[in-house]
């Protein structure tokens, strides 16, 4: 083990600190110039550990390079706020030790003058995000900027790597490897199920076909086990819902009994609702605040500093507070709703008590009975220290297209050389040359089977077999559209005074304080007069103008919040397996609250319980409707896709399906046809119904009209640079973009079904919104393991699923809506 050099040793001693073993181990690895992955639970001080080797190296007098040199250390974080926070935290040691190290941050908010100066006269340490690194690498002066780079620090790597941003980052690292072959990488990560994937991600893959090169790893074992309880409310867990309104009294008491509580929920709307409920019972006037991604930035900043200043008692938050930054002395985490994944829960619980040796304290509050089972499963996983395995991914082709254009903007490139460079990035290690060439052709002319655009090519041949950008406008387009985050169109919410007349109101709406932003699809469902909770208050929707929604204050007590829009995270495979295990082991039910155990016993008596490896299908009739309920426990996305496909097939089998509903645990399809009888008569076979071949033609036919698929395509089209990203104040509203990419999608599917962008969108759908990969695994797993139970009446287990009916879209919705609108008009006109 190395010894901490001066002035670091003195600085540590002055603070009464001893360097921790992992800090020294990382210092040693860096001195040996080995890339290293540091795995540590929250609270282990891994950010300081990550920077220590860089600070030591930068302070060594003999090693300062010539004047006017490039960057020495590059820190990359998924959040720009985290980069700023880390920069602030570095100021203290640098100032106190009197180190001559210039540290700067760079983000989209950095002024143009400062950004230009950073390129001319780079700081020693630059803290930034993957998008900014991509932009820096696309400039002609990138070799100057990066040539002296010694260390790249990648923070929250577990969150960044398995995503499109992670693909972009991997490609950036591959280029940095070429510009600064001697640099090393330090990855900082929370505990993960498969460290070897992140270790490989950190390394340039030199022989991708043969074996993976792995980075060195330092792992800090978790400290005290967290103290997690499931809240047992007096009222008992309800059948359905996600808001935990039933337990509001107990949640409030827990908040009152602690110093500072973080109350995590899964969606922004849940956050709003819970916040309302808490204030309704807030007899002691406790300072309880709200924090989520839709709120205006100044409001979020205010909450953050109030937390840090110890002025708050509780903050209701969504995933915006999941990562990185510590805003105060949290001593309790309350998790309301389903945990969804073991790793995510561990991360959130880790926000409480940032000292390794003391247990973090957490209370889980399930919203309904299924969520209670999920909470049990999550608790078991936490006790076992188990993590969800993140599927290794192959790099997205749309991201590659963006990168190729960026590299062309930097300098003319040789495709052979770039292909080799790209394959050193782990996500692209198995990229075929054919795919690479198709991406090049896409970037240049769109890559269509019909060679119509050769004369408009964006890449032109240059000397030595190289390719260069056709003109300066291409580079300009690249810089405006770089990045992989494509948000669904957001609508600004402004507060105006109410009481406007209904007709033409929207035309006079303007001004007003901005409260925050909401997804366009949410606003789409509202008509003027509808009330909803936003930014912690109940507001009345007044109207929409361009990309702004106008709301007014209202005295209404209960907001008419429309459907629960679900979390972004489906139930993880790992937790799903644990939930199935609990269900299949009646012995384990003793640990459950009595009403829940009785519910399962009743299910056992009336029907059957889903097993560990099979799937249970129930069919029954109720009020002249026939139902088929399946319990795959594969998450909402899989069930939605499955629901769409089953409805199609049931329609063909003559079961006259009318609609379906899905949640994280199962799905129900209903219709006019007697499904039990169809099965009994042998006219409908469940094995055929659930056959994997549904992923063929049926899927294909559905995808043609699926709005999820169109949204996926739009994202790929933006990232790949086919269409322009929207910019504030610049032309097109989000809706027009949606419109035109839908048209492009339709045309492309019909005329060029093998096009690379469709392939990219399909790959996204497989892992993303449609979760086809998981659906495929499920269908394969249950082959020959379908258990059918025909029932006389509704089964106990199906009740929570059936209660969701009315919140989901139904089969063939759009054409039906048009038909009923037409019918409505006929009735109006004929006086019926």
Partner 1 sequence: MAGLRPESLVLSDFSDQPMSVCGKAFRAHMSGALFWPAEDALIVADLHLEKGSHFAARGHMLPPYDTRETLHKLAEVIDAYDAASIIALGDSFHDAEALERMDEADRETLAIMLADREWIWITGNHDGEAGAALGGHVLDELVVEGITFRHEPAAGARTHEIAGHMHPAARLVMNGTALRRPCFVGNGLRLVLPAFGAYTGGLNIMDDAFLPVFGEEGLSVWMLGQEGVYPVAARLLRED
User: Footprint of partner 1 on this chain (CB under 8 A)?
Assistant: 442, 445-448, 450, 452-453, 456, 458, 473-474, 477, 506-507, 524-525, 527, 543-544, 562-563, 705, 722-724, 733, 735-736, 739-740, 743-744, 747-748, 750-752, 755, 809, 813-815, 817-826, 828-830
Q: How far is the CB of 817 from partner 1 (least distance, A)?
A: 5
Q: Measured from the CB of residue 162, what is the shortest distance to partner 1 in angstroms? A: 30
Q: How far apart are CA 560 and CA 269, in angstroms?
A: 12
Torsion from C-alpha of 785, 788, 794, 800, nearest 10 degrees: 10
State in angstroms the smallest separation of the CB of 450 from partner 1. Answer: 5
**CB closer to partner 1, 579 vs 748:** 748
Nearer to partner 1, 631 or 745 (CB): 745
Nearer to partner 1, 487 or 824 (CB): 824
CA dihedral 712, 718, 721, 722 (to 10 degrees): 70
Tokens of 456: 């408009």
Question: Which two three-digit tokens encode residue 554?
Answer: 């209202």
399, 171 Cβ separation under 8 angstroms: yes
What number of other Cβ atoms are within 10 A of residue 188's Cβ? Answer: 24
Q: Which is nearer to partner 1, 79 or 561 (CB)?
A: 561
Closest approach of partner 1 to the CB of residue 816, in Å = 8
Q: How far is the CB of 475 from partner 1 (least distance, A)?
A: 11
Q: Residue length, the chain?
A: 832
**Collapsed DSSP state (helix, strand, coil) of residue 620:** strand
DSSP H stretches of helix in 190-232: 195-202
H/E element, 544:
strand 537-545
Dihedral sign, Cα of residue 662, residue 663, residue 664, residue 666: negative
Give CA separation, 263 vs 254, 299, 310, 331, in Å. 11, 18, 16, 11
Task: Report the DSSP pairing between strands 459-461 and 467-469.
Answer: antiparallel
For the CB of residue 442, give the shortest distance to partner 1 in the complex, in Å. Answer: 8
Q: Are 388 and 346 in contact (CB under 8 A)?
A: no
Residue 346 burial (10 A CB sphere; 0-12, 13-18, 19+):
buried
CA dist list (Å): 64 to 60, 61, 70, 74, 282: 7, 6, 11, 16, 59
The least CB distance from residue 115 to partner 1, in Å, is 24
Q: Which two tokens stand for residue 205?
A: 């893959």
Name the residue nearer to partner 1 (CB basis): 695 or 810: 810
Strands (E), 207-338: 216-219, 227-230, 261-264, 288-291, 314-317, 332-336
Minimum CB–partner distance for residue 446 and partner 1 (Å)? 3
CB of 819 to partner 1, least distance (A): 7
Residue 712 Cβ vs partner 1, minimum distance, rounded to whole Å: 17
Of 602 and 826, the one with the shorter C-beta distance to partner 1 is 826
Q: Closer to partner 1 at the Cβ: 430 or 476?
A: 476
- What contacts 221, CB < 8 A, 6 or more positions away? none
């Amino acid at each position: 083990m190395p010894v901490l050099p001066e002035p670091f040793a003195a600085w540590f001693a002055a603070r009464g600190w001893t360097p921790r073993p992992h800090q020294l181990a990382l210092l040693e690895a860096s001195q040996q110039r080995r890339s290293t992955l540091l795995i540590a639970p929250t609270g282990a001080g891994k950010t300081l550990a990550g920077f220590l080797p860089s600070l030591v190296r930068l302070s060594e007098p003999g090693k300062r390079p010539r004047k006017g040199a490039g960057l020495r250390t590059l820190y990359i974080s998924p959040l720009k706020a985290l980069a700023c926070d880390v920069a602030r935290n570095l100021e203290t040691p640098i100032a106190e030790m009197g180190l001559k190290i210039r540290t700067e941050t760079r983000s989209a908010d950095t002024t143009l003058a400062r950004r230009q100066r950073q390129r001319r006269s780079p700081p020693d340490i630059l803290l930034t995000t993957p998008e900014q690194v991509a932009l820096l690498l696309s400039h002609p002066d990138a070799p100057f900027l990066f040539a002296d780079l010694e260390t790249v620090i990648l923070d929250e790597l577990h969150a960044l790597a398995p995503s499109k941003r992670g693909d972009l980052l991997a490609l950036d690292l591959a280029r940095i490897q070429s510009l600064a072959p001697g640099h090393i990488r330090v990855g900082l990560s929370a505990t993960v199920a498969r460290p070897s994937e992140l270790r490989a991600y950190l390394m340039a893959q030199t022989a991708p076909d043969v074996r993976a090169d792995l980075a060195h790893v330092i792992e800090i074992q978790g400290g005290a086990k967290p103290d997690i309880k499931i809240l047992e409310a007096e009222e008992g867990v309800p059948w359905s819902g996600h808001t935990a309104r039933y337990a509001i009294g107990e949640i409030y008491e827990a908040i009152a009994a602690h110093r500072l509580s973080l109350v995590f929920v899964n969606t922004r709307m849940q956050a709003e609702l819970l916040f309302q409920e808490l204030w309704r019972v807030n007899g002691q006037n406790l300072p309880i605040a709200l924090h989520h991604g839709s709120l205006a930035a100044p409001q979020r900043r205010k909450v953050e500093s109030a937390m840090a200043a110890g002025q708050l008692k509780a903050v209701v938050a969504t995933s915006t507070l999941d990562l990185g930054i510590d805003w105060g002395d949290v001593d309790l985490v309350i998790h309301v709703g389903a945990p969804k994944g073991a790793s995510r829960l561990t991360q959130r619980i880790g926000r409480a008590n940032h000292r390794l040796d003391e247990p973090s304290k957490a209370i889980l509050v399930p919203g309904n009975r299924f969520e209670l089972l999920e909470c049990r499963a999550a608790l078991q996983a936490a006790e076992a220290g188990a993590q969800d395995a993140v599927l290794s991914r192959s790099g997205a082709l749309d991201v590659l297209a963006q990168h190729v254009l960026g590299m062309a903007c930097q300098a003319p490139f040789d495709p052979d050389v770039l292909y080799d460079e790209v394959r050193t990035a782990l996500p692209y290690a198995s990229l075929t040359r054919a795919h690479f060439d198709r991406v090049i052709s896409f970037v240049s002319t769109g890559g269509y089977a019909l060679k119509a655009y050769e004369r408009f090519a964006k890449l032109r041949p240059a000397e030595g077999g190289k390719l260069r950008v056709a003109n300066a406008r291409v580079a300009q387009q690249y810089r405006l559209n770089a990045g992989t985050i494509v948000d669904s169109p957001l609508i600004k919410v402004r507060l105006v005074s109410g009481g406007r007349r209904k007709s033409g109101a929207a035309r006079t709406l303007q001004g007003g304080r901005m409260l925050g932003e909401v997804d366009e699809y949410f606003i789409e469902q509202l008509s003027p007069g509808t009330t909803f909770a936003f930014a912690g208050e109940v507001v009345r929707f007044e109207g929409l103008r361009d990309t702004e929604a106008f709301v007014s204050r209202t005295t209404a007590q209960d907001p008419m919040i429309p459907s629960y829009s679900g979390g972004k995270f489906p139930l993880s495979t790992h937790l799903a397996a644990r939930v199935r295990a609990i269900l299949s082991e009646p012995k384990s039910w003793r640990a459950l609250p009595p009403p829940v155990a009785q519910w399962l016993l009743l299910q056992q008596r009336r029907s059957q319980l889903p097993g560990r490896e099979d799937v249970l299908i129930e069919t029954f009739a109720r009020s002249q409707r026939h139902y088929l309920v399946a319990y795959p426990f594969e998450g909402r996305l899989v069930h939605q896709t499955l629901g769409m496909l089953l409805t199609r097939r049931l329609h063909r089998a003559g079961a006259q399906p009318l609609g379906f509903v899905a949640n994280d645990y199962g799905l129900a399809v209903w219709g006019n046809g007697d499904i039990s009888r169809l099965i009994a008569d042998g006219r409908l076979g469940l094995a055929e119904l659930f056959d994997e071949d549904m992923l063929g033609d049926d899927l294909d036919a559905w995808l043609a009209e699926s709005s999820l698929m169109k949204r996926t395509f739009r994202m790929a089209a933006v990232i790949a640079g086919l269409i322009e990203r929207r910019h504030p104040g610049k032309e097109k509203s989000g809706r027009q973009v949606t419109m035109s990419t839908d048209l492009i999608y339709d045309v492309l599917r019909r005329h060029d079904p093998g096009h690379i962008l469709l392939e990219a969108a399909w790959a996204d759908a497989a892992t993303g919104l449609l979760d086809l990969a998981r659906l495929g695994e499920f269908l394969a797993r249950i082959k020959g393991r379908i258990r059918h139970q025909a029932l006389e009446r509704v089964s106990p287990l199906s009740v929570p699923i059936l209660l969701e009916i009315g919140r989901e879209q139904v089969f063939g919705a759009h054409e039906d809506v048009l038909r009923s609108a037409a019918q409505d008009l006929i009735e109006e006109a004929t006086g019926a």
